[in-house]
Amino acid sequence: MPRTLKTLGALAALAALVPAPAPAARDVEAPLAGTVTATTYSSSGAFHGAVDIDGGTCGTTNVTTAVVGSLAWNVVINTPNTICYTNLSIPKNEVRHTFADGFTFRVMHFNPSAASVDKTCDRCNIGKASSPGNPDSDIHLQRDKSGTKDTSWYSGYTTKGEALSLSERVGVLG
């Protein structure tokens, strides 16, 4: 019996040394078909730190949560009306998921629809595309932690000017 306890104790000590598995990487796929209009830097040269995708025809194209895998999404609707073809500085609608490591992934700048509610889902519909051609209205994909934007998730996966089809890989959350 004492030998069994020693063996169990040794196994427990070894198990404590084995690192916990890293969280699984998650693909980020285009939330709609469109052209990448900005990534790390905006057209003015200012740091942007996110991926913007032209939203297509205003109010007609569905927008998804973009991240593959079932996640809990919180939806914040600041502008309940459909906003099309405007240069007004308006509050942005967003859907976000906060991961256990403290990073938040956001999809922003969409028009709300009946689908714009908190939910747990895999690439679910969250609303409709807002107006095209307006940098404030492109669908905006952003990963951040404590106010600092992270660009590593899309670096090497997508570039400004690239045409994306729905569900084409934009990046990977690691």
Beta strands in 9-103 (DSSP E): 26-29, 34-38, 51-53, 62-64, 71-76, 94-98
Average pLDDT over residues 33-44: 90
pLDDT at residue 14, as a whole number: 47
Q: Which of 23-27, 44-48, 88-92, 129-133 reaches the highest mean pLDDT? A: 44-48
Q: 17 vs 68, which has greater pLDDT?
A: 68
The gap from C-alpha 98 to its chain's centroid, in whole angstroms, comes to: 10
- In this structure, how many other beta carbons lie within 10 angstroms of the beta carbon of residue 98? 14
Average pLDDT of every residue of the chain: 84
Half-sphere exposure of 166 (CA within 13 A, CB side): 12
pLDDT at residue 95, as a whole number: 96
Polymer length in residues for the chain: 174
pLDDT at residue 27, as a whole number: 97
Give the range among 20-24, 50-54, 80-84, 87-91 with minimum mean pLDDT. Answer: 20-24
Calpha distance 51→154 (Å, rounded): 8
Domain at 23-173, CATH homologous superfamily = Glucose Permease (Domain IIA) (2.70.70.10)
pLDDT at residue 52, as a whole number: 92
Q: Where are the domains of the chain?
A: 23-173
pLDDT at residue 148, as a whole number: 95
Answer whether residue 130 shows pLDDT above 70: yes
The tens digit of pLDDT for each residue in 99-126 reads: 999 999 999 989 999 999 999 999 999 9
Answer whether residue 78 shows pLDDT above 70: yes
Answer whether residue 91 shows pLDDT above 80: no
What secondary structure letter does DSSP report for 145? E
For the entire predicted model, the pTM comes to 0.82
pLDDT band at 39 (very low <50, low <70, confident <90, very high): very high
Answer whether residue 171 shows pLDDT above 90: yes
Q: At 32, which amino acid appears?
A: L
pLDDT band at 12 (very low <50, low <70, confident <90, very high): low
Q: What contacts 4, CB < 8 A, 6 or more positions away?
A: none
Nearest to 127 by CA among 108, 109, 111, 107: 111
Q: What are phi and psi of 20, to 5 degrees?
A: -65, 145
